[in-house]
């Protein structure tokens, strides 16, 4: 059985920072195969890769960057089925209630009643200096609840 043109992986760079990351680190931000979209981890950076002082603002901006990246491949938050989030912990024995609260608020705001599967992971470091959160998602276009 041969793959159709729509089933072949297509890679995307988020306009702006995604183009810069492709040039400097040689990776793309999203891949679409048929109706499935997966994105690389998105941080709460701006176009110059600066992070806000507030952790809450950084998480919200990471959600914004996920949204931008999904859009490059034709998806939205309403198509998301799976989320992995990586966090520098703010508490001794957990990621921290402050981070979890903001994540849940953003899920509800962006996805409505739709709830993805979610794995929240505490890490010692992330890929960029000053980065405290990174969000990676998978989506299936047209599988909205």
- Convert the pLDDT of each residue in 87-134 to its tens digit: 999 998 999 999 999 999 999 999 999 899 999 999 999 999 999 999
Q: How far apart are CA 69 and CA 85, in angstroms?
A: 16
Contact 25, 43 (CB under 8 A): no
Region of residue 81 (phi > 0: left; psi between -120 and 50: alpha; otherwise: beta): alpha
Tokens of 30: 């999203």
Query: What would be the CATH architecture of the domain defined by 5-140?
Result: 2-Layer Sandwich (3.30)
Three-class secondary structure of residue 84 per DSSP: strand
Q: Average the pLDDT over 16-26 and give the result.
A: 80
pTM: 0.90
pLDDT at 108: 97
Phi, psi of 124 (to 5 degrees): -85, -30
């Amino acid at each position: 059985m041969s793959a159709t043109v729509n089933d072949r992986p297509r890679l995307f760079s988020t306009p702006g920072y995604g183009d810069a990351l492709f040039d400097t680190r040689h990776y793309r931000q999203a891949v679409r195969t048929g109706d499935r979209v997966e994105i690389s981890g998105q941080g709460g950076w701006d176009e110059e890769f600066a992070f806000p002082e507030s952790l809450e603002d950084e998480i919200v901006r990471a959600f914004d960057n996920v949204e931008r990246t999904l859009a490059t491949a034709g998806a939205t938050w309403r198509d998301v089925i799976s989320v992995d989030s990586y966090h520098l912990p703010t508490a001794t024995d957990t990621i921290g209630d402050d981070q979890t609260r903001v994540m849940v608020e953003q899920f509800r705001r962006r996805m409505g009643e739709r709830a993805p599967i979610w794995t929240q992971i505490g890490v010692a470091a992330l890929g960029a200096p000053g980065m405290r959160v990174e969000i990676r998602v998978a989506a299936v276009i047209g599988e909205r609840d």
